[in-house]
Amino acid sequence: MPWDSIKLNDGTQIPSIGFGTWTLGNGQNVIDQVDQAISLGFSHVDTAQSYRNEVEAGKAIRESGLAREEIYVTTKYSGLDGLDIETSIQNSLANLGISYVDLYLIHHPRLATPDIPTAWAKMEALQKKGFAKSIGVSNFGVEDLKILLASAKIKPVANQILWHPYVYAQQAPILEFSKQNDIVIEGYSTLIPITRSPGGPVDKPLSEIAERLDATPDQILLAWAKAKGVVVVTTSSKESRLKGYQRAGDLKLTASDISAIDSAGAEGAKRSTARVFVRRAAVAALAVAAALRVLTYFEIL
């Protein structure tokens, strides 16, 4: 497979590309799209309590014909309806129709109540009970991770964060700290520069590299994220694009390619229009905030 699995700090492995259900809504459309992704080779399905489509994702997973261990399932504690971590994991398992998830994440540090150490101890307890094979976090910054690690008996295996070239410089310290502590970064909204914020500085190197490699700009973005060691969580309703995302795992970017994308991302972040790029990326990310009703705009960034 072009996207190899990555070994996590607890000895388990995570597929390095996942199909995300964040923007899919609910209903039969979700079942159909998850089913399509699985049929095209996506073995990692990412959902969350706040997406309100665990039932549909679970139905597609169960009807795929694949054994449970052949599908990697991630869901997240989103504090939905004021429910605690212990209750939420049971609800998520019931919704998904499975006895365990492969990865369970705290969706945002603001949800770690009454504090991060207490919430993380609850995550550790549910892992020991077998409800989640691995546990991690999402949208945690360096300081949040430091607080967590200071009391943790079990390290988080992953931190899922906003990840694309226009926020790379901002998120790079999280990546570096995570590498130092053997925590894998998962990236969402990697395609924002071309799907929601076209016309920025990154367009040029993406087009040039894509032409040279006989690829598409979206494939180059995914290959860029992979080169950074990031697990990609992405989505599309189009079969052709999903096939293209799979092929992106075979692309080999040079150090110059990666540097050109990094530099263009930094240039965009410095321009007066950078706020637009970052805000548009955050608008996509803030579907989470709207669902949780506890996050402010800037807490995602």
| pLDDT bucket at 269, cuts 50 / 70 / 90 | confident
Any idea which residues carry the catalytic annotation?
51
**pLDDT reading at 3 higher than 60:** yes
Q: Where are the alpha helices (DSSP H) in 140-187?
A: 142-151, 168-180
- Model confidence over 181-217: pLDDT tens digits? 999 999 999 999 999 889 999 999 999 999 999 999 9
The per-residue pLDDT for 81 is 86
116, pLDDT greater than 90: yes
Q: What is the pLDDT of residue 275?
A: 52
Instruction: Report all structural domains of the chain as residue ranges with CATH numbers, in order of start.
Output: 12-293 (3.20.20.100)
164 is in an annotated binding site: no
Terminal-residue alpha carbon distance, the chain: 33
Token pair for 54: 């665990």
**Percent share of the chain, pLDDT over 70:** 90
Q: Is the pLDDT of residue 286 over 90?
A: no
Q: What's residue 217's pLDDT?
A: 98
User: What's the rounded mean pLDDT across residues 79-102?
Assistant: 96
Confidence at residue 257, expressed as pLDDT on a 0 to 100 scale: 98
Confidence of residue 25 (pLDDT cuts 50, 70, 90): confident
pLDDT at 41 over 80: yes
CA–CA distance, 100 with 58 (Å, rounded to integer): 12
Q: Does an H or E element contain 51, and which?
A: none
Alpha carbon distances (Å) from 219 to 129, 172, 183, 231:
39, 21, 25, 14
Q: What is the mean pLDDT of residues 135-141?
A: 98
Angle 119-125-127 from CA coordinates, rounded to 5°: 110
The three-state secondary structure class of 205 is helix
The radius of gyration of the chain's CA atoms, rounded to the nearest angstrom, is 18
Cis peptide before 205 (omega within 30 of 0): no
